[in-house]
Amino acid sequence: MATEVTVPVLGESITEATLGEWLKQPGDPVAVDEPIASLETDKVSVEVPSPVAGVMGQHAVAVGDTVQVGAMLATIDSGDGAAAAPAKTPEPAATATPAALAKDESGAGYGDQPGAGTSDSPAALSPSVRRAVLEHGVDPGTVKGTGRDGRITKEDVTAAASSKPVPAPAAAPAPTAAPAAASGRGEERVRMTRLRQTIAKRLKEAQNTAAMLTTFNDVDMTAVIEARAKYKDLFEKKHGVRLGFMGFFVKAATMALRDIPSVNASIDGDDIVYHDYADISVAVSSPGGLVVPVIRDADQMSVATIEKTIGDFGKRAKEGALKMDEMKGGTFTISNGGVFGSLMSTPIINPPQSAVLGLHRIEERPVVVNGQIVIRPMMYLALSYDHRLIDGREAVTFLVALKNAIEDPTRILIDL
């Protein structure tokens, strides 16, 4: 008897998703609640668990297909997999060679090996990982996976390729009629993920709707760097998390938002909605791109609690384990491009919010202090805001309040 697996409810107002990858192949044994597929929604990736124990049956949809909530994805057959998957002699992991992946990437032979689906077999690798294996010529059997449940990620393949010794040049083959791609001007067409499509749509919508403007300031990071160096070991020992800079900035931002409430507000039709709380969206990296989980009631948190929350978000974003509810809402966004080396940028507002703060890299520069030219670690701050709601005076006042709190962290302690 076969049990149908359908697309689960994905969240409020989300009616469809894209099948990102199959985690189980036909013939694989499946336990209750074991993930069998990964769906890409507008916000995060969602794993689909098996409702029963049994054997993976036939896939009803292919990777990349768009599926509606409630649609059938696959079937789970009763049994333990012994009858569905014919016995075979165990083969070493190295059999999953780039050549085999090339065959799989072209579509020929995909899923035609009974019992396929081990962590390093072609069928068990996601499309992006298979492409990376083909590009770098890496044997997936030699790559240690760091993803969820030990699965190989694109970053694992890249790291393995960088550590692989360069082979000696092979003897040149006899001249043949080379295809056009041999000129080194090849192209690859890859369909945008649903997350990337949503990011593109929302950012363009923000540009088309908001009267967006960016104002800049810079901040001397000396005091925060000294405080971090002095207390980082004690902080980590007591709270179990490293003391970073984001905790200071989030806390300072919540104080500035309280003083300048329009920066924490939003426009709803002809109304302005003011929030007496600060839900801070923080941009973190995930395998599919930047995602923006929300720190709820950040204004009520300590620096330690903020650092713990951000660290948890970052870890689960890399694993694709963020929940849909954690991505909703937010009254103000902080994006830290400095971790990638950005010196200055003009971040785009995350609708329906009215402002976003961009942080950048810390760079030693000459500045004048008490009439003397000194070298200080400086950072540029950028506040992009909706000029329909926020005036220039308010934007500048917000940045100055933030700057004052960072340059004198005692203000954060005494709530000044």
Q: What is the pLDDT of residue 389?
A: 94
Greater pLDDT, 226 or 21: 226
* Catalytic-residue membership of 415: no
Percent above pLDDT 90 for the chain:
35
Taking Cα atoms as reference points, which of 394, 245, 226 lies closest to residue 334?
245
The count of other CB atoms within 10 Å of the CB of residue 206 is: 19
Calpha distance 180→194 (Å, rounded): 32
- 239 an active-site residue? no
Q: In terms of pLDDT, which residue wins out, 184 or 86?
A: 184
| Whole-number pLDDT of residue 110 | 37
90 vs 232: which has the higher pLDDT: 232
- Bridge partners (DSSP) of residue 295 are 280
Q: Is 150 exposed, middle or buried (0-12, 13-18, 19+ CB in 10 A)?
A: exposed
Q: pTM score > 0.85 for this model?
A: no
**pLDDT for res 164:** 63
198-206's contacts with Cβ under 8 Å and 24+ in sequence apart are 198/42, 198/43, 199/289, 199/290, 202/350, 202/351, 203/348, 205/351, 206/348, 206/349, 206/350, 206/351
Position 62 scores a pLDDT of 84
Query: Is 2-163's fold the same as 204-413's?
Result: no
Mean pLDDT, the chain, rounded, equals 80
CATH node for 204-413: 3.30.559.10
Query: Domain 2-163: which topology?
Result: OB fold (Dihydrolipoamide Acetyltransferase, E2P) (2.40.50)
Q: Which of 276, 391, 408, 415 is catalytic?
A: 391
Can you give the residue ranges of every domain in the chain?
2-163, 204-413
Mean pLDDT of the region 324-353: 89
Q: Which of 312, 387, 408, 415 is catalytic?
A: 387
- The model's pLDDT over 90-149, given as tens digits with 9 standing for 90+, comes to 444 444 455 445 444 444 333 343 344 444 454 456 656 766 777 767 777 777 777 766
What confidence category does residue 175 fall into, taking pLDDT thresholds of 50, 70 and 90?
low
**Reported confidence tier of residue 321, pLDDT bands at 50, 70, 90:** confident
